[in-house]
Amino acid sequence: MEGLKGMNIATGRHCSHLFSGALVLLALFAVICLPVPAPAAQDCRFCHDEPLYRVDFNKSIHAGNGCTSCHVGITDVEKHRDGKEKPAPVDCGSCHQEIAKEYRNNFHYIQEDFQCSDCHRNIHAIRQDKDRNVKLAIIEKCTECHGNADYTTSGHGEAVLKGNQDAAACSDCHGLHNTRVFHTSLEQYPAEARDFYTQKCKRCHADSAMMTRNNLSDKMVAYYEGTYHGKVQELGYPAPVAGCGDCHTKHNILPKEDPRSSIHPDNLEANCGRCHAGFHARFLSYQAHPDYTDRDKYPALYITFLFMGALLIGTLAFFWVHTILWWRKVYWEQDRMEREGVVPPSVHATGEGLQQVERFSVKYRIMHVLLVLSFFTLVLTGFPLKYAGTEWAATLTRLWGGAHMAGLFHRGAAFLLIVGMTYVSIESLRFLFPKGEGRKGWLGRLLGPDSLFPNLKDLQDFKGMLRWFFNKGEPPKFDRWTYWEKFDFLAVFWGMFAIGGSGILLWKPEWSSYLVPGWVMNIAALVHSEEALLAALFIFTIHFFNTHFIPNKFPMDRLIFTGTYRLEELKEQRPLEYERLMAEGRLESMKRGHPSIPLKLISATFGLGSLLLGLFLTVTILWSVLFG
Amino acid sequence: MSRKNLIGLIVPAALILITALAACSKPQEAPPPWKVVDASTLRAMMASDKELPVFNTMSELECLDHRIPGTKCLSCEEVENSPNTVLPPDKDRVIVFYCESAGCYRSCRAADAAVKAGYRQVHVLEGGMPAWKQAGYSMETIERVPRGSIQSLRAQALKQMLAERKDLLLVDVRSEKSYKEGHIEGALNIPLYRFSSGYAVIPLDRTVVLVDDRGFRTFLAGSYLEMKGYRVMRLFGGMEAWQEMQAKKQ
């Protein structure tokens, strides 16, 4: 330290008796006004003379920086030498700002107060090496502390060690400077962790280029997203459903052929058993990544997919054409009447024509209201799951109070519908086999005018309607039920078997496995989803139109809520029924008072509200089908 | 008839509404007997009252390694054992406790003891040190323990290793009370709050396996021992993981 004598390093001034007074003044000015220069690297190395600082540092990536770029706060080397002045803690974030920002939420900082140098221990000798296997270096660093047994036996670990740069190293899933606070032993944030890691898996496994060059399928993510697990997960409210790691485990990720793999057939029972309890062994044939379009691998699923698609497209296409033709005819007909000044008799009915007659009894009106409520609840809770990736689905689910709550409402509404359906079935049987009559004449009742079962007249009526649509004749005369009303009724029956049956199977899949194998759940999910789409679109476009939006009833027909209409309307819409009632002398017993104002108001509000909600949902669903 | 119709419409609607409301309401928990402050409020409180007693309830070892600047080290065991001796004499003085984790388990225990001892202005930092750090506020280091490479063992692996190796020494760093309630057979109890004075009894020729409650606190203690020349490992997930493994076997 002798050499330092006489040298005022703190100011960097070299005093000499040779300088003139003016220069001393100038130097003093510099002391006062100019910033204090930090000690130079050679000053530091005078004491810190290890090869690390003298040799390695000069070759390191930070060589261009002086010691005091990082070790700030030394103003006087002598004071520092005497231990009176210590440098401030190194703040790497003063240059590496982005990393410092990320690191603020890093688990290692939050929980263990790691500083940069705790991982970057060789900071003074760190070099930039383009040929370095970064992934391998990361693995080596992390496994200094974290037991590597799990990871190194995994497919990812093995691939990285073999030099595959696509395979995931620690940081690809856990982040590097932004390692999240999802401590596995605490499991404090299981939902967030599940979502976070599932997104990490998806990022690579949905990357077509990466999957193709590694001889893996890039569709696995999409197939998973089509399942109940994937949809609930995607809704962003991960109720306890399986994310990737729940089945493939956290580190032990191996192909299913490997006996150590969690998805190896021998390990499936324990694997699924982590979430599901009390299932039969055949439950395990459920496909977590089903491909509906793979005819060879999943023939039953493929056939169901084709059938449901054909049913959906066929039914909608048929009725949409029917509706368009009908609307055309009625609109043109109304235009003609408007021009000619013709008013339908039901509009200016007088006297007897004003008499209200009952079409729907209180019981059936209540049932329709319950059906509307349960149907909307089912649609509003089920469709967010069907279109889980959309914004509206997430918003709607939030309104329900999360996916779990939405699921409870869905089941509640389904229960209501099942009860209603059972009641209708009992009513139908009573209609066919009334007390006292038994089986006698049941076929006549089944095909009779009061039955909702289709008969030959319906075929004739349909033909008649077609002729009328094309201006080839008068519209057919209807009896109590038109063929489209019968279709509406029977469609609900079929729908209940398809949606209700599949829904009950899916309700408690573990119990269902005692009835059917797990792969039937895949079919049930497909049927439930596609039939729901058919039902919703049918009700919101076809039923709404046939019953309410047809120009002569627009915007709504309140009949189903008030239960009565004018005698003149009965005559006009259902002449055969009117004639039957007259002939059988039953008309008198069908006469009712005019509906009250409160009932009309409630009917209008509920009815129009339902129609608007249905239309809104139609737009939303169609948007999701076409652009989702 | 119309009244009947009305009932038919209103009853189902009301039923659904009631179900929805019932489902949304949650039972309320009783509030704790202390006040909760967030990081920015605490910072403001400390700025306006330079003498404000703010206590880090972790062990001295952990507290000296990193703490909120200007706060004091006072482990929650010390507060529980003798609150009147270690806390300020004025029971109306505002006092604040905080701890290492967001769960504030230890600061709550200390706060509970202080309230029971008659302190009327007890506060707890909401979210603990993580909240302080995430707010971007600086920390203070008095005696930093250099971080080591401390391997963690899963409970199953430890069990197997204990059967195979005789040089292992289990050191349970939980409180005396937790240790008495149950520990791994053969474990030595050196609670963290007096670790720096108690560690010397560990023989240097043994490989130490540190055990805590949940696996959060053994890393720093392990680094400390490594610095002192020991070979150290730690139990991943702590006693919780060990007990879970034992329960699964049964």
What are A527-544's pLDDT values in tens digits? 999 999 999 999 999 999
What are A479-531's pLDDT values in tens digits? 999 999 999 999 988 888 899 999 999 999 999 999 999 999 999 999 999 99
Taken in order B64, B68, B74, B80, the sign of the CA dihedral is negative
Q: Which chain B residues contact residue A408 at CB under 8 A?
A: 23
Q: How many CB pairs under 8 A join A and B?
A: 97
For an interface test with A, the pick among B141, B147, B243 (most A C-beta atoms closer than 10 Å) comes out as B147
Flag whether residue A259 sits within 8 Å of chain B, measured between CB atoms.
no
Is-contact B139 A113, C-beta < 8 A?
yes
Is-contact B235 B152, C-beta < 8 A?
yes
Flag whether residue A370 sits within 8 Å of chain B, measured between CB atoms.
yes
Query: Is pLDDT of A8 > 50?
Result: no
- pLDDT-derived band at A46, boundaries 50, 70, 90: confident
**Average pLDDT in the B176-182 region?**
93
Residue with tokens 């021009």: A339
Q: Do B66 and A113 touch (CB under 8 A)?
A: yes
Q: Do B241 and A185 touch (CB under 8 A)?
A: yes
Is-contact B58 B173, C-beta < 8 A?
no
pLDDT, position A144: 86
**Average pLDDT in the A63-77 region?**
87
Is-contact A500 A417, C-beta < 8 A?
yes
**Average pLDDT in the A396-403 region?**
92
d(CA A253, CA A257): 12
Search chain B and give the residue with CA nearest A143. Answer: B151
pTM: predicted TM-score of the whole model, two decimal places: 0.79
Query: Is pLDDT of A1 > 50?
Result: no
Q: Do A111 and B12 touch (CB under 8 A)?
A: no
Flag whether residue A146 sits within 8 Å of chain B, measured between CB atoms.
yes
Flag whether residue A97 sits within 8 Å of chain B, measured between CB atoms.
no
- pLDDT-derived band at B17, boundaries 50, 70, 90: low
Please tell me the least confidently modeled range out of A9-18, A219-228, A562-571: A9-18
Look at A509 and A129; give whichever has higher pLDDT. A509
Q: Which chain A residues contact residue B216 at CB under 8 A?
A: 111, 183, 186
d(CA A189, CA A217): 31
pLDDT, position A107: 86
For an interface test with B, the pick among A110, A182, A405 (most B C-beta atoms closer than 10 Å) comes out as A110
A365-377 b/e (C-beta count within 10 Å ≥ 16 → b): bbbbbbbbbbbbb
Flag whether residue A65 sits within 8 Å of chain B, measured between CB atoms.
no
pLDDT, position B11: 56
Question: Which residue from A186, A596, A606 is facing B9, i.e. has the nearest CB?
Answer: A606
Distance from CA of B34 to the nearest CA of A (A): 24
For an interface test with B, the pick among A145, A372, A375, A603 (most B C-beta atoms closer than 10 Å) comes out as A145
Flag whether residue A609 sits within 8 Å of chain B, measured between CB atoms.
no
**Average pLDDT in the B65-80 region?**
92
- pLDDT-derived band at B64, boundaries 50, 70, 90: very high
Taken in order A76, A79, A85, A89, the sign of the CA dihedral is positive
Look at A627 and B55; give whichever has higher pLDDT. B55
* 3-state secondary structure string across A13-30: ECCCCCCCHHHHHHHHHH
What are A565-620's pLDDT values in tens digits? 999 999 999 999 999 999 999 999 999 999 999 999 999 999 999 999 999 999 99
Please tell me the least confidently modeled range out of A328-337, B20-29, B159-168: B20-29
Count CB atoms within 10 A of the CB of residue B80: 20
For an interface test with B, the pick among A94, A112, A188, A559 (most B C-beta atoms closer than 10 Å) comes out as A112
Q: Do B130 and A111 touch (CB under 8 A)?
A: yes
Query: Backbone phi, then psi, for B172, in 5-degree steps?
Result: -95, 115
% of chain A beyond a pLDDT of 90? 61
d(CA A412, CA A378): 9
- pLDDT-derived band at A26, boundaries 50, 70, 90: low
- What does the DSSP assignment read for A257-321? TSTTSTTSGGGHHHHHHTT--S--GGGGG--SS--TT-TTT-HHHHHHHHHHHHHHHHHHHHHHH
Flag whether residue A405 sits within 8 Å of chain B, measured between CB atoms.
yes
pLDDT, position A488: 92
Query: Is pLDDT of B230 > 50?
Result: yes
Distance from CA of A146 to the nearest CA of B (A): 6
B162: buried, middle or exposed (CB in 10 Å: 19+, 13-18, 0-12)? middle
Flag whether residue A595 sits within 8 Å of chain B, measured between CB atoms.
yes
Look at A75 and B211; give whichever has higher pLDDT. B211
Please tell me the least confidently modeled range out of A8-17, A49-58, A162-171, A424-433: A8-17
Residue B135: name the closest of B144, B125, B121 by CA: B125
Is-contact B134 A104, C-beta < 8 A?
yes
Flag whether residue A270 sits within 8 Å of chain B, measured between CB atoms.
no
Distance from CA of B153 to the nearest CA of A (A): 7
- pLDDT-derived band at B103, boundaries 50, 70, 90: confident
Question: Which residue from A110, A184, A599 is facing B6, i.e. has the nearest CB?
Answer: A599
What are A164-194's pLDDT values in tens digits? 999 999 999 988 998 887 655 456 677 788 8
Q: Which chain B residues contact residue A609 at CB under 8 A?
A: none
Average pLDDT, chain B: 87
pLDDT, position A351: 83
pLDDT, position B7: 52
Strongest mean pLDDT among A345-349, A551-555, B23-27, B50-54: B50-54
Question: Which residue from A112, A185, A369 is facing B237, i.e. has the nearest CB?
Answer: A185
Search chain A and give the residue with CA nearest B219. Answer: A112
DSSP-derived 3-state class of residue A227: coil
- pLDDT-derived band at A88, boundaries 50, 70, 90: confident
pLDDT, position A345: 75
Look at A280 and B6; give whichever has higher pLDDT. A280
pLDDT, position A183: 55
pLDDT, position A168: 92
Q: Do A362 and B236 touch (CB under 8 A)?
A: no
pLDDT, position A12: 37
Q: Do A112 and B220 touch (CB under 8 A)?
A: yes
Query: Is pLDDT of A289 > 90?
Result: yes
Distance from CA of B131 to the nearest CA of A (A): 9
**Average pLDDT in the A416-437 region?**
92
* Torsion on CA atoms A244, A246, A247, A253, rounded to nearest 10: 70
Peptide bond into B89 cis (omega under 30): no
Query: Is pLDDT of A271 > 60?
Result: yes
Residue B208, amino acid: V
- pLDDT-derived band at A239, boundaries 50, 70, 90: low
Q: Which chain B residues contact residue A365 at CB under 8 A?
A: 5, 8
**Average pLDDT in the A309-316 region?**
96
**Average pLDDT in the B211-232 region?**
93
Query: Is pLDDT of B106 > 60?
Result: yes
Query: Backbone phi, then psi, for A335, in 5-degree steps?
Result: -65, -45
pLDDT, position A147: 73
**Average pLDDT in the A331-340 region?**
93
ipTM: 0.82
Q: Do A147 and B12 touch (CB under 8 A)?
A: no
- pLDDT-derived band at B14, boundaries 50, 70, 90: low
